[in-house]
Amino acid sequence: MNMALIGLVAGLALGFAGYFGGFGAFVLVAALGAVGFVAGRFADGDLEPGDFFRSRGRDTGRR
């Protein structure tokens, strides 16, 4: 599946959730989609748990 098709499916799912379930369902579907995306990146090996806790800036040696 290419990224455009995945984006289309995600947009349709969010649209249906928002239309039929209201804003709460929209937020729930969006949050679960984000969790699934991160879990998929972990499964593919593109992310490591340390990526969320490492500083992106320069390390000045201060703690």
| pLDDT tens across the length of the chain (63 residues) | 677 788 888 888 988 988 999 999 899 988 988 888 888 778 877 778 777 776 666 655 555
How much is the pLDDT for 49? Answer: 75
Q: Is this structure's pTM higher than 0.75?
A: no
Whole-number pLDDT of residue 41? 79
- State residue 6's pLDDT score: 80
Torsion angle defined by CA atoms of residues 46, 48, 50 and 53, in that order, rounded to the nearest 10 degrees: 60
Kindly give, in sequence order, each residue whose CB lies less than 8 Å from that of residue 30, ignoring residues fewer than 6 positions away: 14
Q: Which two tokens stand for residue 18?
A: 């928002």
Which two tokens mark 14? 């969010």
